[in-house]
Chain A
């Protein structure tokens, strides 16, 4: 089955700096890679995702890059703000027509943005 590794487990940055979180996956058939943000006491919330036919995707201060050959993908947050402090999870799955997407999650990165 799929295995997703995520690094680092904790990341502390100063407000305004950039943060990068990296994930690797094992199953070359995986074709959908979402990133979730989890605030304390809440459920994960999708912040950005990327499909395997795209190398990069941006949404304001957040971007995700995918290297299919190396089987790794990364989350980039620029101009970090205190409200970016949370736990971030990467995930991978095979999305097909008529099938459920069984997400395999990384172990999470606790991001702390300091003033």
Chain B
């Protein structure tokens, strides 16, 4: 299994541009998450999904959109990039009912985004 994969690894955007960060998992996990990590800070939840067609906002959803058309993929869309969106973005996934009920989250390698 490749686990959670993310593309691209690094991207530079100009203010106002848009882009989609790709995330895919091959573990047949129902739950998927997007976090952002700012320097010296912990990860903050942007959006999450409990299954295909179902998404919900996390702590910091403004400026982002998501969709979940398949179990495997959970892309994150930035419509009008702003410098405040410069960050490292991590995608994660977990099963609906893990071992002993613990739903461990597995993280991808991250996408580093710089908005200038």
Contact = CB atoms under 8 A, between A and B. Distances in A.
Interface residues of A, number: 30
A34 B31 CA distance: 17
B12 interface: no
Interface residues of B, number: 31
A101 B93 CA distance: 10
A45 interface: yes
Contacts, number: 71
Given A100-B50, A106-B42, A43 B104 contact: no
A107 B109 contact: no
Interface string A79-115: 0000000000101000101111111111110000000
B104 A46 contact: yes
A108 B42 contact: yes
Interface in B38-91: 40-45, 48-50, 56, 58-59, 90
A61 interface: no
A43 B45 contact: no
Given A89-B43, A105-B43, A43 B109 contact: yes
Nearest to B108: A43
Nearest to A46: B104
A8 interface: no
Contacts of A106: 42
Nearest to B51: A100
Nearest to B103: A101
B90 A44 contact: yes
Interface of A: 1, 4, 6, 9, 32, 34, 36, 41-46, 49, 51, 89, 91, 95, 97-108
